[in-house]
């Protein structure tokens, strides 16, 4: 699997295998009883819960104590408060998924100025640089995921068709990368296709925006939604209007996976590997805390999922048995 | 839409009939605020030959143009709190782009040169200049489309992979021939057509040096040597608190200097550049000196410089030797330059220098051991922490400094927008009259500009 995206400062990606902990590293980490705080954008998504589980498990194996897991509810203000609160606890490290760029930069800068090690997930706030403000940024290959989503949608879209893209209105590195990559792939491989773009700032807007796309182009031939949560709302609008439109999205959330399995609009999903990403985040943090060299931009390639590969992908990504409803949707089990 | 925009700019230019002396003082006052040398009216009055009434009059004009804000108060120092006079960096923004061998960076900066957001993409090696120009335009257009809301666009500053000769013209009119076929690819002209704003072009090494000096480790350094080790080995120079560009704009081509080596010499580029490192990696595999690289190539069928540097970092003996040899060659050349220039700081950049600890350690050893002790007494040698952002940050600083250079700003400031600068109007007029214009792009450009 090849990583297509460069880092937020143009860095070349290091593979996750580059960050390993040997038995002596683990023993050394256990002796030091590191204290770690975690701040994530949300705890309400399948992706986020798996990411956090991956982190906590690996940190636990290495004797590190997780002193808090803060849910920012996608709010920059909440994240700044959470980081300030955690700073006062003087942990050895804070692991953060910055929910914005400029709006959370100062709060993250204060963490590194306090001498607390900072590991970032998916996004680097404006002006923060590796080595100076944070150790590593561990990310999914969001550029690759955006291209994958376009590639999965393309065979379902006729010539000179008009498709929709529902993006995220906030300056956010991962979603910006996905959107730019999706358009770039179409520009190069399907220049005949026209893309109408709408962006939401709150989930509640997604149904209305989907409706706007359809009202503007009733012949809408395809739709890409920037991740699975808002995609679920877009799918609800398509169901409400009784429309069949091929849809792709990013993240193998349970609801969109079920729609893929049941052949209901969703034709493909570009999937991240949140559990594995969480493990790599924890390993990178511990590597830094042990004073060892660690790459600044570590990237996990995505997985292209369609109906044929969804069961294996689900098991790989979620590390659990595929729900009965999905197996029934694929006619692997009888209802 | 295009006609309306042009009419607005033309009418503002015609309306602005400020006498020359007034324009000069307005530019000078704005630059005092922009560079942080003054933050209140009192400081402005003290900083130059400006009476209270002149300061008040010019600030009123600058406020009307949206370039100055006096709504905030400072800290009281025994009496009434002074009103702060601030440059409004968010009045407009510049697009910045950096084209290098294999990657393209694009970003947006405000008028203080602060990078707001950036994006980097791999570009396929060996693209024809016209195809490369297409790719660059496509990436810039998609990026700008993603960030289209916000202040208006006042210019585009590009860093290109080759020397750009010195030129006093306020804006670029044509694409410099940094590589064969570039002039014909007409990137600069197509950007002007597409976005309807002025363009500046500088070499990548100039832009990276400027970025490191203004926003990186070089902040405040009077003398800095910036060295980028990539496909080629180039250097930028800050002397006496200024970026030094040489007699023709081609300073720092140190990759062309000769090296004495056990394999018959050659140039620094041929001994320490990316191609040399990659070739050495392949040889190490063939000769069985690098199990880590052999294993990697067996899995992914290709070998990059980054792979060799990462293998070196992880202790692969063959890779350590390759990186060490390149570092010794670069360090030897830098030792000579250090004895000559006596810099305070050397900053190493590029994948080879930044992806492992070995390169830095060996360069330090070579420079400290090979230079005169007097010049190394306080010399610091570090790796850049700005990575690929350095060129974008530097391009932003170059664009804003050009935009507000007194000789340039005096010709547009009364109109309130550089789009009304007579030289830029002439460039646009010439392009609209002449050939090489792409009407399909112009429509979108006017919309976005």
Judge whether B351 is closer than 8 Å to chain A, CB to CB: yes
pLDDT at B11 over 60: no
Q: What is the pLDDT of residue B441?
A: 42
Residues 6+ apart with CB under 8 A from B53: none
Q: What's the rounded mean pLDDT across residues B358-382?
A: 95
Q: What's the rounded mean pLDDT across residues B121-137?
A: 89
Q: Categorize the per-residue pLDDT at B267 as very low, low, confident or very high, splitting at 50, 70 and 90.
A: very high
Q: Categorize the per-residue pLDDT at B443 as very low, low, confident or very high, splitting at 50, 70 and 90.
A: very low
Does an H or E element contain A71, and which?
strand A65-71
pLDDT at B296 over 70: yes
Q: What is the pLDDT of residue A292?
A: 80
User: Between chains, do A176 and B116 touch, taking CB under 8 Å as contact?
Assistant: no
pLDDT, tens only, B66-119: 999 998 887 777 777 778 999 999 999 999 999 987 899 999 999 999 999 899
**B102 vs B403, more confident:** B403
**Mean pLDDT for chain A overall:** 93
Q: What is the pLDDT of residue B449?
A: 25
In this structure, are residues A278 and A241 in contact, taking their beta carbons and an 8 Å threshold? no
pLDDT at B418 over 80: yes
pLDDT, tens only, A178-189: 999 999 999 999
User: Between chains, do B142 and A184 touch, taking CB under 8 Å as contact?
Assistant: yes
pLDDT, tens only, B188-229: 999 999 999 999 999 999 999 999 999 999 998 989 999 999
pLDDT at B249 over 50: yes
Left, alpha or beta for A200 (phi > 0: left; psi -120 to 50: alpha)?
beta
User: Between chains, do A187 and B142 touch, taking CB under 8 Å as contact?
Assistant: yes
Q: With beta carbons under 8 A apart, name residues in chain A contacting B356.
A: 293
Question: How many angstroms separate the CA of residue A305 from the nearest CA in chain B?
Answer: 22
Rounded to whole angstroms, how far apart are CA atoms B211 and B236? 11
In this structure, are residues B33 and B44 in contact, taking their beta carbons and an 8 Å threshold? yes
Please give the share of chain B, as a percent, with pLDDT higher than 90: 64
Q: What is the pLDDT of residue B167?
A: 82
In this structure, are residues B156 and B191 in contact, taking their beta carbons and an 8 Å threshold? yes
Q: What is the pLDDT of residue A1?
A: 60
Rounded to whole angstroms, how far apart are CA atoms B215 and A217? 47
Q: What is the pLDDT of residue B2?
A: 45
Q: What is the pLDDT of residue B263?
A: 55
Q: What is the pLDDT of residue B5?
A: 54
Residues 6+ apart with CB under 8 A from B12: B415, B416, B417, B420
Residues 299-318, chain B: which have Cβ within 8 Å of A? 304, 306, 310, 313-314
Of B142, B147, B388, the CB nearest to A11: B388
In this structure, are residues A285 and A323 in contact, taking their beta carbons and an 8 Å threshold? no
Q: What is the pLDDT of residue B101?
A: 78
In this structure, are residues A247 and A224 in contact, taking their beta carbons and an 8 Å threshold? yes
User: Between chains, do A293 and B313 touch, taking CB under 8 Å as contact?
Assistant: yes
In this structure, are residues B70 and B63 in contact, taking their beta carbons and an 8 Å threshold? yes
Q: Which residue has the tokens 């699975």?
A: A228
Judge whether A10 is closer than 8 Å to chain B, CB to CB: yes
Of B103, B304, B385, the CB nearest to A129: B385
Q: What's the rounded mean pLDDT across residues A18-39?
A: 94
Instruction: Give the count of Cβ contacts less than 8 A between chain A and B.
Output: 84
pLDDT at A127 over 50: yes
pLDDT at B448 over 60: no
Any bridge partners for residue A268, and if so which? Answer: A248
Q: What's the rounded mean pLDDT across residues B179-192?
A: 90
Question: How many angstroms separate the CA of residue A109 from the nearest CA in chain B?
Answer: 15
Please give the share of chain B, as a percent, with pLDDT higher than 70: 91
**Angstrom distances, CA of residue A193 to CA of A162, A243, A246, A297, B50:** 6, 20, 14, 33, 60
- Strands laid side by side in the A303-305 sheet: A194-200, A162-168, A223-225, A247-250, A266-271, A303-305
Does an H or E element contain A256, and which?
helix A254-261
**B364 vs B173, more confident:** B364
Any bridge partners for residue A184, and if so which? Answer: none
Cα separation of the two ends of chain B: 10
Q: What is the pLDDT of residue A199?
A: 95
Rounded to whole angstroms, how far apart are CA atoms B47 and B41? 10
Q: Where are the alpha helices (DSSP H) in B315-421?
A: 317-341, 351-354, 358-370, 373-376, 389-403, 406-409
Does the ipTM exceed 0.90?
A: no
Q: Categorize the per-residue pLDDT at B445 as very low, low, confident or very high, splitting at 50, 70 and 90.
A: very low
Q: What's the rounded mean pLDDT across residues B261-274?
A: 80
Q: What is the pLDDT of residue A117?
A: 97
pLDDT at B8 over 80: no
Q: What is the pLDDT of residue B444?
A: 32
In this structure, are residues B438 and B190 in contact, taking their beta carbons and an 8 Å threshold? yes
- The beta strands (E) that lie in B37-194 are given as 68-69, 86-87, 92-100, 103-110, 115-122, 152-160
pLDDT at B355 over 50: yes
Q: What is the pLDDT of residue A295?
A: 84
**B432 vs A2, more confident:** B432
Q: Categorize the per-residue pLDDT at B264 as very low, low, confident or very high, splitting at 50, 70 and 90.
A: low
Rounded to whole angstroms, how far apart are CA atoms B185 and B439? 16
Which of A5, A12, A189 is the best mutation test for B, with the most CBs of B within 10 A? A12
Which sign, positive or negative, has the C-alpha torsion B38, B40, B41, B45? negative
Q: Which residue has the tokens 């306080």?
A: B378
Rounded to whole angstroms, how far apart are CA atoms B312 and B314? 5
Rounded to whole angstroms, how far apart are CA atoms A161 and A287? 49
Q: What is the pLDDT of residue B7?
A: 52
Q: What is the pLDDT of residue B1?
A: 41
């Amino acid at each position: 699997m090849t990583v297509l995206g460069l880092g937020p400062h143009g860095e070349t990606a290091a593979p996750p295998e580059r960050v390993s902990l040997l038995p002596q590293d683990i023993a050394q980490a256990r002796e030091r009883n590191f204290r770690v705080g975690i701040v994530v954008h949300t705890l309400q998504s399948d992706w986020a819960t798996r990411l956090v589980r991956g982190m906590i498990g690996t940190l636990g194996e290495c004797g590190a104590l997780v002193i808090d897991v803060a849910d920012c509810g996608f709010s920059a203000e909440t994240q700044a408060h959470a980081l300030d609160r955690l700073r006062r606890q003087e942990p050895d490290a804070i692991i953060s998924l910055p929910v914005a760029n400029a709006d959370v930069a100062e709060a993250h800068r204060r963490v590194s100025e306090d001498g607390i090690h900072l590991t970032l997930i998916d996004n680097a706030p404006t002006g923060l640089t590796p080595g100076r403000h944070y150790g590593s940024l561990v990310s999914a290959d969001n550029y690759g995921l955006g291209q994958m989503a376009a590639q999965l949608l393309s065979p379902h879209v006729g010539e000179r068709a008009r498709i929709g893209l529902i993006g995220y209105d906030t300056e956010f590195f991962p979603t910006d990368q996905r959107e730019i990559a999706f358009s770039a792939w179409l520009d190069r491989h399907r220049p005949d296709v026209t893309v109408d773009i709408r962006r939401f700032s709150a989930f509640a807007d997604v149904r209305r925006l989907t409706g706007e796309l359809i009202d503007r182009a009733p012949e809408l031939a395809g739709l890409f939604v920037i991740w699975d949560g808002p995609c679920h709302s877009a799918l609800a609008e398509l169901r409400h209007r009784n429309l069949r439109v091929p849809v792709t999205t990013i993240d193998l959330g349970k609801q969109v996976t079920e729609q893929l399995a049941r052949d209901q609009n969703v034709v493909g999903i570009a999937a991240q590997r949140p559990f594995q990403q969480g493990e790599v985040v924890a390993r990178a943090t511990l590597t830094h805390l042990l004073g060892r060299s660690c790459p600044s931009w570590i990237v996990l390639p995505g997985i292209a999922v369609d109906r044929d590969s969804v069961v294996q992908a689900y098991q790989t990504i979620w590390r659990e048995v595929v729900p009965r409803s999905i197996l029934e949707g694929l006619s692997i089990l009888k209802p | 839409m295009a006609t309306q925009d042009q009419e607005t700019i033309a009418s503002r230019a015609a309306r602005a009939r400020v006498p020359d002396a007034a324009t000069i003082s307005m530019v000078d006052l704005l630059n005092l605020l922009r560079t942080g040398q003054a933050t209140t009216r009192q400081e402005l009055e003290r900083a130059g030959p400006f009476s209270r009434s002149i300061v008040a009059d010019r600030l009123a004009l600058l406020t009307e143009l949206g370039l100055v804000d006096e709504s905030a108060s400072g800290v009281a120092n025994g009496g009434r709190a002074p009103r702060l006079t601030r440059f409004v960096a968010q009045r407009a923004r510049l697009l910045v782009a950096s084209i290098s061998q294999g990657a393209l960076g694009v970003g947006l900066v405000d008028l203080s040169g602060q990078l707001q957001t950036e994006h980097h993409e791999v570009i396929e090696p060996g693209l024809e200049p016209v195809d490369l120009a297409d790719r660059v335009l496509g990436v810039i257009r998609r990026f700008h489309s993603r960030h289209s809301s916000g202040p208006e666009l006042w210019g585009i500053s590009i860093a290109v992979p080759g020397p750009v000769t010195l030129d006093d013209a306020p804006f670029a009119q044509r694409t410099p021939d940094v590589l064969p076929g570039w002039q014909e690819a007409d990137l600069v002209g197509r950007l002007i057509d597409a976005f309807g704003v002025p363009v500046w072009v500088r070499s990548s090494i100039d832009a990276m040096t400027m970025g490191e000096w203004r926003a990186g480790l070089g902040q405040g350094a009077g003398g800095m040597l910036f060295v980028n080790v990539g496909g080629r080995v180039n250097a930028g120079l800050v002397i006496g608190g200024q970026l030094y560009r040489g007699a023709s704009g081609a300073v720092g081509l140190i990759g062309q200097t000769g090296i004495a080596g056990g394999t018959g010499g050659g140039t620094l580029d041929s001994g320490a550049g990316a191609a040399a490192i990659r070739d050495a990696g392949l040889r190490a595999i063939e000769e069985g000196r690098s199990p880590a690289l052999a294993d990697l190539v067996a899995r992914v069928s290709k070998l990059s410089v980054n792979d060799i540097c990462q293998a070196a970092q992880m202790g692969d003996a063959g890779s350590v030797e390759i990186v060490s040899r390149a570092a010794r060659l670069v360090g030897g050349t830098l030792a000579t330059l250090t004895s000559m220039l006596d810099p305070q700081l050397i900053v190493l950049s590029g994948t080879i220098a930044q992806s492992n600890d070995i390169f830095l350690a060996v360069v330090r050893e070579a420079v400290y051991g090979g230079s005169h002790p007097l010049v190394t007494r306080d010399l610091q040698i570090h790796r850049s922490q700005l990575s690929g952002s350095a060129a974008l940050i530097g391009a932003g600083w170059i664009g804003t400094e050009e935009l507000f250079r007194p000789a340039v700003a005096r010709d547009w400031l009364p109109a309130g927008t550089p789009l009304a600068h007579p030289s830029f109007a002439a460039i646009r007029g010439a392009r609209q009259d002449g050939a090489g214009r792409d009407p399909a792009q112009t429509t979108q450009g006017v919309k976005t500009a």
